[in-house]
Chain A
């Protein structure tokens, strides 16, 4: 029983970062029809720029706001110099352009912010709670709550504010959105700033006490099954999907990995993704689209 509860808790902590990254994907997709494969590189940039700033001895209270500003600037730059000029182009063009962004960001981070594996300082404290034999890291708990709060805030923005609702229309069709008086490029810009901010939240919530290297960008790709399970258009639904994938992965790691030399837990999200694609491609909460001629 304790083992099961512990697995559940571990799974939920991993689920937090999946949720943050997954929501970032969805926000960019539903407000611009852009499948942003560079999301992992946003996370990478946020992580390593935080590291470099923390190295200078600045207080974390100062560092993360600075990184937040930096990420917003990067998001705005991507919109201004790349996506704005591609408005109305095919989904494939938009996707390929984010591949270019991925390569540029990855190269710049590795070249100038360091490509070596490093330990990320424990910004949220190293304390531990013990509830009936189940260990809960203080950092994991705070981080998870932080992510849940951030995701709910973004969900509220999309469902409760006029701007958020208008941005949803952009995912449908750039031209239609424009004819309704919605500013497509502003919608994209806002979504990229949100994606950058969520990356910073993910860094604060998850990276403390872990070894980080340029390959952490792959976390974003592991978060893709979460996005798919939830459906690409939902925001709050990502929380539930992330919990399912996070706990599923923890269960696989606990009971199946010993039998498969560590293969089950890394493969679980991707196998799940392929199964979802066959069974229910629009996910749990996605929009079912009707094709018209």
Chain B
């Protein structure tokens, strides 16, 4: 039985439902994926150290936002607490690595498990409510995190100074160059993104969509609404936890001030601008807006004193305008724009 779609003069067509559901249905899409992976592998060889570190940091954000996409885009639950979950992951990994002296893979798994547990616990009350109220709980989580971390025992969690994370060792070799970190973070990001695509395409993903569209209708068709929402919370928290752990290793510190409400808002912005509907939107939005941010950050020193004072807050203005413009002009985001443009290119020169 052929699994791939079938070529016809007018393009590739699926002749069974299984084929139609495949994520990589055509040879073209598979080729693009291979090219993308090759480009990602080759990137640190050509990029400078600063750009390699930038790519690693972006990959960390990509993991967080992709997790947020499952919760917000697929399951329809607003969350403004994603950076708090990331912070919990960062602290968990830092705690495991310093206080317990656990090796890197164990510390990351510990961060993932502990954030998932907290995410599920948090999802329990949150699952009963929606919209307005849900945004409230996630905001409160953000504040509870910021206010609690510096007041926990400094011996264990570093108090106001945060927890410094030692340079990770992997099979005895210490991480030294930005390329080492890139080699750790980007493959994990690729796997996490692939997993998110799988989740969205799975039965669970379709149940989440049902919950998003109409909770009552979903429950009538046999979807366990509360359970589905809690799982979505757990997934988003788990992604944030892994991202937080990797981010802590990358920056060498877990500090509560790295995980503010504004960061959560930025993650939400990345997702909205990219397109909430799909994983590719989450990735696209994060990469695009991280590039915009980096460009503005690099521009600032060129302008000197006053210019820089105005420019940094203007990053917020630019992001705010982008979010609003996306909502007004094309609520499906960059992902949809890219899709439409590439479809137009394919059809060229016919209409």
Q: Which of A79-108 contact B (CB under 8 A)?
A: 82, 85-86, 89, 91-93, 95-97, 99-108
Most B-side CB within 10 Å, residue of A91, A99, A104, A227: A99
Q: Which residue of B lies closest to A227 (CB)?
A: B136
Nearest CB in chain B: distance from A275 CB, A: 9
B147 A92 Cβ-Cβ under 8 A: no
Whether a CB of chain A sits under 8 angstroms from the CB of B59 is no
Per-residue A-contact encoding for B234-262, CB less than 8 Å = 1, 0 else:
00000000000000000000000000010
Nearest CB in chain B: distance from A152 CB, A: 24
Nearest CB in chain B: distance from A82 CB, A: 6
Chain B residue contacts of A37, Cβ below 8 A = 80, 135, 139
Per-residue A-contact encoding for B135-162, CB less than 8 Å = 1, 0 else:
1110110011001100100000000000
B133 A106 Cβ-Cβ under 8 A: no
Per-residue B-contact encoding for A187-198, CB less than 8 Å = 1, 0 else:
000000000000
B216 A107 Cβ-Cβ under 8 A: no
Whether a CB of chain B sits under 8 angstroms from the CB of A267 is yes
Q: Which residue of B lies closest to A222 (CB)?
A: B143
Chain A residue contacts of B328, Cβ below 8 A = 82, 85-86
Whether a CB of chain B sits under 8 angstroms from the CB of A256 is no
Whether a CB of chain A sits under 8 angstroms from the CB of B220 is yes
B151 A263 Cβ-Cβ under 8 A: yes
Whether a CB of chain B sits under 8 angstroms from the CB of A145 is no
Q: Which residue of B lies closest to A38 (CB)?
A: B320
Chain B residue contacts of A224, Cβ below 8 A = 136, 139-140
Contact size class for A?
35 or more
Q: Which residue of A lies closest to B132 (CB)?
A: A35
Q: Which of A231-254 contact B (CB under 8 A)?
A: 232
B309 A111 Cβ-Cβ under 8 A: yes
Per-residue A-contact encoding for B308-345, CB less than 8 Å = 1, 0 else:
01100111111111111001100100000000000000
Nearest CB in chain A: distance from B159 CB, A: 9
B321 A99 Cβ-Cβ under 8 A: no
Main secondary structure of the interface of A (DSSP, over half): helix
Whether a CB of chain B sits under 8 angstroms from the CB of A228 is yes
CA–CA, A93 to B319, complex, Å? Answer: 16
Nearest CB in chain A: distance from B225 CB, A: 11
Nearest CB in chain A: distance from B61 CB, A: 17
Nearest CB in chain B: distance from A52 CB, A: 15
Per-residue A-contact encoding for B202-220, CB less than 8 Å = 1, 0 else:
0000000000001111001
Chain B residue contacts of A35, Cβ below 8 A = 131-132, 135
From B133, B215, B220, B327, A277 is in contact (CB under 8 Å) with: B133
B314 A107 Cβ-Cβ under 8 A: yes
From B131, B268, B272, B310, A91 is in contact (CB under 8 Å) with: B131
A95 and B140 contact, Cβ closer than 8 Å, known pairs A86-B328, A263-B147 = no
Chain A residue contacts of B137, Cβ below 8 A = 273-274, 277
Main secondary structure of the interface of B (DSSP, over half): helix
Chain B residue contacts of A271, Cβ below 8 A = 144
Whether a CB of chain B sits under 8 angstroms from the CB of A266 is yes
Chain A residue contacts of B135, Cβ below 8 A = 35, 37, 95
CA–CA, A273 to B81, complex, Å? Answer: 15
Whether a CB of chain B sits under 8 angstroms from the CB of A140 is no
> What is the count of residue pairs linking A and B with beta-carbon distances less than 8 angstroms?
146
A96 and B317 contact, Cβ closer than 8 Å, known pairs A270-B144, A274-B137, A291-B216 = no
Q: Which of A212-234 contact B (CB under 8 A)?
A: 218, 221-222, 224-225, 227-228, 232
A99 and B148 contact, Cβ closer than 8 Å, known pairs A92-B76, A224-B140 = no
Chain A residue contacts of B129, Cβ below 8 A = 277, 281
A99 and B310 contact, Cβ closer than 8 Å, known pairs A106-B316, A221-B139, A277-B129 = no
CA–CA, A37 to B133, complex, Å? Answer: 12
Most A-side CB within 10 Å, residue of B125, B214, B269: B125
A108 and B317 contact, Cβ closer than 8 Å, known pairs A93-B331, A277-B125 = yes
Nearest CB in chain B: distance from A178 CB, A: 20
CA–CA, A263 to B309, complex, Å? Answer: 33
Chain B residue contacts of A99, Cβ below 8 A = 80, 265, 268-269, 320, 323
Nearest CB in chain A: distance from B73 CB, A: 10
Most B-side CB within 10 Å, residue of A89, A92, A225, A278: A92
Q: Which residue of B lies closest to A286 (CB)?
A: B133
Whether a CB of chain B sits under 8 angstroms from the CB of A61 is no
Most A-side CB within 10 Å, residue of B131, B214, B320: B320
Per-residue A-contact encoding for B108-150, CB less than 8 Å = 1, 0 else:
0000000000000000011011011101110110011001100
CA–CA, A175 to B140, complex, Å? Answer: 32
Chain B residue contacts of A48, Cβ below 8 A = none
CA–CA, A86 to B331, complex, Å? Answer: 10
B317 A111 Cβ-Cβ under 8 A: yes
Nearest CB in chain A: distance from B142 CB, A: 8
A273 and B136 contact, Cβ closer than 8 Å, known pairs A93-B327, A93-B331 = yes
Chain A residue contacts of B136, Cβ below 8 A = 224, 227-228, 273, 277
Q: Which residue of B lies closest to A40 (CB)?
A: B261
Chain B residue contacts of A177, Cβ below 8 A = none
In order of increasing CB-CB distance, the 7 nearest A-B pairs are: A103-B320, A107-B316, A104-B320, A107-B317, A100-B323, A110-B313, A100-B324
Give 6 A-B contacts (CB < 8 Å), ordered by A residue.
A95-B135, A100-B322, A103-B316, A107-B314, A110-B313, A224-B140
Q: Apart from A35-B132, A97-B324, what 14 extra A-B contacts exist at CB < 8 Å?
A: A92-B78, A92-B131, A93-B327, A96-B78, A102-B320, A104-B316, A104-B321, A108-B317, A111-B317, A218-B261, A221-B143, A221-B261, A266-B147, A270-B140
